[in-house]
A and B are shown apart, each in its own frame.
Chain A
Amino acid sequence: MADPFLSIQHVRKSFGATTVVEDFNLDVERGEFVSFLGPSGCGKTTVLRMVAGFEEPSAGTIVVSGKDITRLKPNQRNVGMVFQAYALFPNLTVAQNIGFGLKVAGMPRADIDARVTEMLGIIKLPQMADRYPYQLSGGQQQRIALARAIAPKPKLLLLDEPLSALDAKVRVSLREEIRSIQKKLGITTIFVTHDQEEALSISDRIAVMYGGKAEQVGTPFEIYNRPATKFVANFVGTLNVLEGTVTDAAAGTVRVNSEQVSLKGKLNGSKSGDTLSLALRPEAISLGRQPGRDSSLSGEISEVHFLGSVIRVRVGIGGNTVSLDTFNSPATPPPAVGEKAEISFSSSDMLVLH
């Protein structure tokens, strides 16, 4: 395999006695879009700030295209960064903001102007050159901040929760815009977020972080469908958790609410009599027996929410409740609360949480 473009190796960061990041490892390919996803306080920003050079790692190294940058100052790294609070310079116009890094680098005036115009085109705000930041909406300010960060053609683009100060609609459209600009320019990007939908929808890969460590690194598909740890399974997506007891470890059978489910090959190391947490995504469950689904459980419908195209149904199974979504069909009325119901699923979709 070719050397990765960005390599974060065994990075640790302590503030005084508290260790905030522990043995963090990540390799990022050239042009890749990697998200750090995790709850607030898990160390995402700290890792990003170490890559930017604002914090010095207590241990470990950070390498960009073969060069160790661990101890370089931020202004020597050629990295672009977008902050949650936009951080546009209030005294400068939009054009001056975008041209700031170019001017610092000593680019001739005419070249700066050309590059600024090009950037304004890329972010689709061509008429805004002479405005001041306070005259722009949050979404516009953040696009200017993005243009400012990428104008000097940085090796890396770092975004620290760039969308969390914006309202929901702008958030969705801007994240798609960020992704398409990133793809067009082929710029290697790290995107920090605590919003799983955001991370799933725009990333090549996601590093799910918890307690200062990368719990799992993988594509959105892998993270969602094959979570490596209980934390990842719970944090990403909605999850229905059922308690089960191993009845026969060798055969791989588990009893869930007095019914048997076969989980052959998934029990790795559990003994008969062990209690397990079993998880199912809502979309892996169907109401009623369906062809191709090898397992089923019976219960009682406890809630029905009509959401338009989708009907979200909650089914009580023993002491647990399971959520599932069915598509609305004009010919069939939705199920009623209190009805007996059977749910079916493929045992291969069931996750055993460790």
Chain B
Amino acid sequence: MKSGKFWAWLVFALGAAYFFIPLIATVEFSMRMRRGEYSFDAYKVVLGDARFQATFGYSVLAAVFTIILGVLIVVPAAYWIRLRLPQLRPIVEFITLLPLVIPAIVIVFGYIRMYGSNSPLPFLATDTGTNALLVIGYATLALPYMYRAVDTGLRTIDVRTLTEAAQILGAGWGTIITRVILPNVLIAVLSGAFLTFAIVIGEFTMASLLNRPAFGPYLQNIGANRAYEPAALAIIAFAITWGCMSLIQILSRFAPKSANRPN
């Protein structure tokens, strides 16, 4: 019992060290811009940089659209598969995993061939079209995470019986999805949304090859040309991700508790 606890703590301490030492080192380095003393100069430079503000704003907007698109596609699809097509689940799970296997660069080259300015669908000829393509590409990249989050959420409720209970009370599909299904998987949808956010904020390949002014290419650019600012940026990006995760935790307290387990 005692020694079991000791080993558990040891493993925990090693894990924590593995995680925190590089983090602390990065923080320490990012604060050494001013010679001989610690300061937040690097952060001031980064946050004051107009390109930071522009690219970060662009990526946040892209993330919001990606989340909306992802929710609109994934929630009805995952719901319908659970309700009516359970035999398709393995196939759909496989498809949602493809973005993890196929490099983003392949998607981008596919885009450029399919939607180039000389093609019948010249999406890439305009900025709006390119932005739309970027969001669609991001939604694809986020698909594995979004689908899994939503599907896990759906697993905690008895989708079929709740749907039938609503139907027999006169509800149509719109009411069922908005009043019964979505509120019960909202926390799952939000955690999928935050994961999507984190992915979109840091994404480089697609944004760079489609030549969009996103945060990922900016990060790369700073990283290649400066010393202290990249460390500060890494910490900022980390704080954003961490903040997203904490929000998921806080929100999950408000999740409706499932009472659909007959005792």
Which segment, of A128-136, A186-194, A199-207, A267-275, faces chain B? Answer: A128-136
A95 contacts the other chain (Cβ, under 8 Å)? no
A138 touches B167 (CB 8 A): no
The contact of A105 among B170, B258, B262, by CB within 8 Å, is B170
B184 touches A141 (CB 8 A): no
Contacts of B161 in A (CB 8 A): 83, 85, 87
Question: Which residues between 70 and 84 of chain A lie within 8 Å of chain B, taking CB atoms?
Answer: 73-81, 83-84
B35 contacts the other chain (Cβ, under 8 Å)? no
In the bound assembly, the distance between CA atoms of A134 and B255 in angstroms comes to 12
The contact of A165 among B171, B256, B258, B262, by CB within 8 Å, is B262
Kindly provide the distance from the CB of A192 to the nearest chain B CB, expressed in whole angstroms.
15
Flag B38-52 by CB within 8 Å of A: 1 or 0 each: 000000000000000
B262 touches A85 (CB 8 A): yes
Known: A101-B170, A165-B263. A74 touches B164 (CB 8 A): yes
Contacts of B171 in A (CB 8 A): 75, 100, 104
Flag A151-171 by CB within 8 Å of B: 1 or 0 each: 010000000000001000000
The contact of B162 among A53, A89, A105, A152, by CB within 8 Å, is A89
Contacts of A136 in B (CB 8 A): 259
Flag A229-257 by CB within 8 Å of B: 1 or 0 each: 00000000000000000000000000000
Question: Which residues between 158 and 172 of chain B lie within 8 Å of chain A, taking CB atoms?
Answer: 158, 161-162, 164-172
B164 touches A89 (CB 8 A): no
In the bound assembly, the distance between CA atoms of A76 and B168 in angstroms comes to 8
A315 contacts the other chain (Cβ, under 8 Å)? no
B172 touches A75 (CB 8 A): yes
In the bound assembly, the distance between CA atoms of A81 and B169 in angstroms comes to 8
In this complex, which of A76, A90, A145 has the most chain B Cβ atoms within 10 angstroms of its Cβ? A90
* Nearest chain A residue, comparing its CB with the CB of B156: A90
B169 touches A132 (CB 8 A): no
Kindly provide the distance from the CB of B43 to the nearest chain A CB, expressed in whole angstroms.
41
In the bound assembly, the distance between CA atoms of A133 and B164 in angstroms comes to 18
The contact of B157 among A53, A90, A135, by CB within 8 Å, is A90
A210 contacts the other chain (Cβ, under 8 Å)? no
Contacts of B256 in A (CB 8 A): 90-91, 132
In the bound assembly, the distance between CA atoms of A75 and B166 in angstroms comes to 8
Contacts of A73 in B (CB 8 A): 167
B225 contacts the other chain (Cβ, under 8 Å)? no
In the bound assembly, the distance between CA atoms of A85 and B179 in angstroms comes to 20
A83 touches B164 (CB 8 A): yes
In this complex, which of B172, B184, B258, B263 has the most chain A Cβ atoms within 10 angstroms of its Cβ? B263
Contacts of B168 in A (CB 8 A): 52-53, 74-75, 77, 79-81, 149
A86 touches B262 (CB 8 A): yes
Contacts of B257 in A (CB 8 A): 90, 132, 134
A90 touches B260 (CB 8 A): yes
B180 contacts the other chain (Cβ, under 8 Å)? yes
A148 contacts the other chain (Cβ, under 8 Å)? yes
A54 contacts the other chain (Cβ, under 8 Å)? yes
Contacts of A84 in B (CB 8 A): 262
The contact of A81 among B162, B165, B184, B258, by CB within 8 Å, is B165
Contacts of B262 in A (CB 8 A): 84-86, 138, 165
Question: Which residues between 232 and 263 of chain B lie within 8 Å of chain A, taking CB atoms?
Answer: 256-260, 262-263
In the bound assembly, the distance between CA atoms of A53 and B164 in angstroms comes to 10
In this complex, which of B166, B172, B260 has the most chain A Cβ atoms within 10 angstroms of its Cβ? B260
Question: Which residues between 179 and 230 of chain B lie within 8 Å of chain A, taking CB atoms?
Answer: 179-180, 183-184
B53 contacts the other chain (Cβ, under 8 Å)? no
Kindly provide the distance from the CB of B29 to the nearest chain A CB, expressed in whole angstroms.
47
In the bound assembly, the distance between CA atoms of A319 and B263 in angstroms comes to 44
B259 touches A132 (CB 8 A): yes
A88 contacts the other chain (Cβ, under 8 Å)? yes
B118 contacts the other chain (Cβ, under 8 Å)? no
The contact of A75 among B158, B170, B179, B259, by CB within 8 Å, is B170
In the bound assembly, the distance between CA atoms of A75 and B258 in angstroms comes to 24
In the bound assembly, the distance between CA atoms of A132 and B257 in angstroms comes to 8
Kindly provide the distance from the CB of B179 to the nearest chain A CB, expressed in whole angstroms.
8
* Nearest chain B residue, comparing its CB with the CB of A79: B168
B175 contacts the other chain (Cβ, under 8 Å)? yes
Known: A105-B170, A132-B256, A134-B258. A89 touches B165 (CB 8 A): yes
The contact of A87 among B164, B175, B183, B184, by CB within 8 Å, is B164
Contacts of A77 in B (CB 8 A): 168
Contacts of B258 in A (CB 8 A): 90, 134
Contacts of A87 in B (CB 8 A): 158, 161-162, 164-165, 260
Contacts of A105 in B (CB 8 A): 170
* Nearest chain A residue, comparing its CB with the CB of B263: A138
Kindly provide the distance from the CB of B83 to the nearest chain A CB, expressed in whole angstroms.
12
Kindly provide the distance from the CB of A170 to the nearest chain B CB, expressed in whole angstroms.
10
Kindly provide the distance from the CB of B170 to the nearest chain A CB, expressed in whole angstroms.
4
Q: Can you list 8 A-B contacts (CB < 8 A)? A: A74-B164, A81-B168, A85-B262, A101-B170, A133-B259, A133-B260, A138-B263, A165-B262
A-B interface, 5 closest residue pairs, ranked by CB to CB distance from nearest = A165-B262, A101-B169, A133-B259, A91-B256, A134-B259
List 13 additional contacts besides A100-B169, A133-B259; criterion CB under 8 Å.
Answer: A52-B164, A74-B164, A74-B168, A75-B168, A75-B170, A84-B262, A87-B162, A88-B259, A89-B180, A100-B171, A104-B169, A104-B171, A149-B169
